[in-house]
Amino acid sequence: RPLFLKHRGFHIYTFPPPNNGGSLLGLLLHRMNELPPPPPQSHSAEHALWLLRCLNGIAGLKHHPEQLLHALRANSLWGNTTHFSILDREGMAISLTSSNGEGSGTFLPGTDIQLNNMMGEPALLPKGLHTWAPDSRLTSMMTPTLVASGSSALHSALGSAGAGRIPFAIAQVLHFMLDYPGPLDKAVNAARTYFHQGIFELEPGFDHLPEERLPPTMELRIWTRKSLYFGGVNAVGRQKDGSYMAAADQRREGVSLCSSEAGA
């Protein structure tokens, strides 16, 4: 069964444990619900600080799966990765994320599908590289997600590449999409943030944020251009009038297409 979450009046379905990505996404959305409403102006300095409050204290949990699962229950509730989302005229949707990692060199017989190799991903090996125990399952940060208006009507399908930053990218796109309604493309390509090991990183697009407004132990890093480092979200959805929308992340050379013949 998928992990089921409620956020801003929408029903969200994503990958369940033992996958880490869906659990992190759930905690991020829960944190957004706990905080006061976001500032009315998107990408203001106050908005950046609001996002920092969402991210701070959660990013480190990806290195401690056992704490992550405990935190998720307490609140009731990563390479060569690609994602596609499909929505048809019947309202059926697919949200699929796949990755070769470093590539294993082994292909499924009769297909062109190469088995993944995740052994070089630090975000999946919290105790360090070369610590994987044979015959044990590796977790994943891949977080394909569906959003429904209420219990049935599909609103959107989305997912992302981006290594350990995948759930953080998806959480922010959901935030922009649901808290600042507008074109789907605007939500997907809006400037994002990331917090990791005491460094708060901002893509260009936020208003000026004086560093003195951050805790003294925290470093502010402002990027000069948008980067695939912040994920590569691809999304499709349906608007209130029944028309379709699709958005591809410009950070990762994504492609989007709406076909009137296919009705998607």
Residues marked active site are found at 81
Where do runs of H (alpha helix) occur along 57-111? 65-74
Chain CA centroid to CA 186, Å: 16
Give the sign of the dihedral formed by CA 178, CA 180, CA 185, CA 187.
negative
Give the sign of the dihedral formed by CA 196, CA 117, CA 140, CA 65.
negative
DSSP 8-class letter at 39: P
Q: Are 75 and 28 in contact (CB under 8 A)?
A: no
Distance CA 235, CA 216 (A): 38
205-211: list long-range contacts, CB under 8 Å, 24+ apart. 205/43, 206/43, 206/44, 206/45, 206/47, 206/48, 207/43, 207/44, 207/45, 207/48, 208/45, 209/45, 209/48, 209/49, 210/45
How deeply is 261 buried, as exposed, middle or buried, from its count of CB atoms within 10 A (0-12, 13-18, 19+)? exposed
